Structure 1
Amino acid sequence: MAATSARALKLLSIFGTGATLTAGALAARLGTSVRTVRRDIDTLRDLGYEIEAVHGAGGGYRLGPATRLPPVVFDEDQAVAAAVALQTVPAVLSGIRENAARALATLHQAMPARSRLHAEAFTVSPARNYWEFPAPPIDAGTVRAVGGAINRRHLLRVSYTGDGEPATLTLEPHDLVVWAARWYLVAYDPAAGRWRAMRVDRIRPHPPTHTPFERRDLPHGDPAAFVMTAPDRGDAAAAWPCRGSAVLALPASTVARFAPGGSTVEHVTATTCRLTLGAWSWPGLAGLLLTFDADLTAIEPAELRQALHSLRTRITTALRNPPQRPPA
């Protein structure tokens, strides 16, 4: 009976995502047989949950639109995910630390004892390393305003600070992406006739427009892929003891995806771009450029060129000396 109840609870949580899944897919998710899944569905129906059978291509089972789930329906894996998310969210959203702590306490109180033990085992202390360059935590009100416009498909009017003075823009907001601890808005700019990836920490939303727009097909079909390959996404070079640049014989979209945090990529031609980045030493900076395995030109400053010469000398010397075998 306990195993059946646990399975039914997990099945209910899966249906709570709004997905339509076949009995086979549900069986794979639950690690059980199709016959057992169908019995568990009957159990949920007996308890008053409306589980619909959808016929035809793409069919399966789903939760009926009139069904209301209990306030908290978490299996143990979901409890852990929620607990970790609530502990780490203050690192990317400002003004939410106290609310996240209260939500975590409420979640623990609402959980069964076994799920609470699993969740409390994951106590997280987020910390930065030298290669992370997140934006300051985003104001939760900004995310709420932008996310609300995305959800309602309403035009979004904002002040945006790029490289120069703030500009007032009217955008078609499509998606929010968090990548490398930075928030980006993927939006279509009708005035410029192009898609943009924009740092949310540089956005100040204006009052809602309540003006609807038709959603467009995203570049690459994926907002995350668009942000990762957009060289003009509003990033800025981080402060390092040594900072330099070079033109790489690679497209800007390729370099933008793999450039270290705190670097900038400028389009030069269809097959070249300028990468500006920093490191704790000139040899370290030279080594980062070499990881792209591309021809380098227009290298600045002189210290970076000298570091590349030094690395070439060291590598040449190392290759001339055969490896020493340890004595027998």
Structure 2
Amino acid sequence: MTSTSHRALRLLSLLGSRRTWPLRDLAARLAISERTVRRDLDTLRELGYPVTSVRGPDGGYRLGTGYVLPPLLFDHDQALAMAIALQTANTSVFGLQDDTARALATLQQAMPETLRAVMESLRLTKLRNYWEFPAPPIDPAALRTVGTAVRLRHVLVAEFLRLDGTRPAPGDQDFATARRLEPHHLVVWAGRWYLIAYDLEDRHWRVHRVDRLHPRPTTRSFTLRDLPGGDLALFVMSSHDRGDTPAAWQCTGSARLNLPADIVARWAPGGSVVEHLDTNHCRLTLGAWSWAGIAGILATFDTDLTEVHPPDLLDACRQIAHRYAAMTSTELTGPVRP
């Protein structure tokens, strides 16, 4: 059961948001009874915090003016949010990356040991990618479990979730049973969170989408292994089998490319899927705001394309080819002079 002091700190943190909290909402957020909330409110008053009652249909409790919160009063969820926000901050502004790193270090030094452990559990690597598309939300509990396992070097037992985030039914043949993983690195790339792990079942390195995992912690320790090639960024970006699924777009199409899957995976937009066909060929499925947009992205790979689907995408490719052919013809012959 949560201690009285811990509850009081969480209650003070909620009241510090400067909003009015109905009693039932405070009880729900703290997972305690309304009677216990009243006792904790009285405790805060005894400590000198001006907790006031607000009457009326929109009434409840809030902190009055003139109070001072203890420094860096964060609960575990807030510490997790701070770690994620600071480490995934946009690095396109000059100097911001160094500033956020220093801010994170300052916060960690000023926090109690338990909260510092929460933040340190999410020491992640953010890889640069110019195709940043929205990604599905991740369960904070799963993120904490994975991050802590990476930090402590503890084996994870993980089930793979369906596309809608639900766990597979018992006996579902389309999904593998829970697997034992050695979690080595937590990475953010193209707006998605990935776990780089060594699979103890088939003895291979894997890249897994964190939002597609249902992880369970263990206390079994492991020794860090050397990542193949030694380049974390290259390993993640060139791994085509990352459990990715096409992002939701107005138009979605695919084509067979005369390039290896690892090359295409490195440069494909976030939210696209690369399927390995053979050593020199793969299939790319991606989306865009228009069929011409998909055709334009496919053209950036500068290779032969076959098996283009659906017909709308093939028509867009023909239209673009016609435009470029007309442009090239004009450039060669020159404009007609009067």
Shift of 1:304: 1.4
Q: Distance in 2 between matches of 1:216 and 1:84?
A: 26
Q: Distance in 1 between matches of 2:255 and 2:299?
A: 11
Percent identity of equivalent pairs? 54
| Structure 1: unaligned runs, 5 residues or longer | 1-70, 73-81, 90-102, 111-129
The counterpart of 2:224, out of the listed 212, 215, 232, is: 215
TM-score by length of 2: 0.56
Q: Which residue of 1 aligns with 2:271?
A: 262
Q: Deviations 1:118-170 (Å, cap 9, x if unpaired)?
A: xxxxxxxxxxxx95323234333322221222222221112222675474111
2:157 corresponds to 1:157: yes
Q: Which residue of 2 aligns with 1:135?
A: 135
CA contact 2:181–2:200 (8 Å) conserved in 1: yes
The counterpart of 1:301, out of the listed 282, 306, 310, is: 310
Distance 1:215 1:83, change over 3 A: closer
Letter in 2 for 1:181: G
Q: Distance in 1 between matches of 2:88 and 2:222?
A: 34
SS of equivalent to 2:218: coil
CA contact 2:245–2:272 (8 Å) conserved in 1: yes
Q: Distance in 1 between matches of 2:243 and 2:196?
A: 12
Distance 1:296 1:181, change over 3 A: same
Q: Distance in 1 between matches of 2:162 and 2:249?
A: 21
Letter in 2 for 1:315: Y
What is the 5 A alignment of 1:58-97?
A: 85-86=85-86
Q: Which residue of 2 aligns with 1:183?
A: 193
2:254 corresponds to 1:245: yes
Letter in 2 for 1:239: A
SS of equivalent to 1:171: strand
Shift of 1:88: 6.0
Q: Which residue of 1 aligns with 2:210?
A: 200
Q: Which residue of 2 aligns with 1:37?
A: none
CA contact 2:246–2:271 (8 Å) conserved in 1: yes
SS of equivalent to 1:232: coil
Q: Distance in 2 between matches of 1:298 and 1:155?
A: 42
Letter in 2 for 1:245: S
Q: Distance in 2 between matches of 1:245 and 1:270?
A: 19
Q: Deviations 1:48-70 (Å, cap 9, x if unpaired)?
A: xxxxxxxxxxxxxxxxxxxxxxx
Letter in 2 for 1:249: N
TM-score by length of 1: 0.58
Shift of 1:179: 0.8
SS of equivalent to 2:229: helix
Q: Distance in 2 between matches of 1:310 and 1:198?
A: 38
Q: Deviations 1:73-105 (Å, cap 9, x if unpaired)?
A: xxxxxxxxx99954966xxxxxxxxxxxxx99x
CA contact 1:282–1:304 (8 Å) conserved in 2: yes
CA contact 2:179–2:200 (8 Å) conserved in 1: no
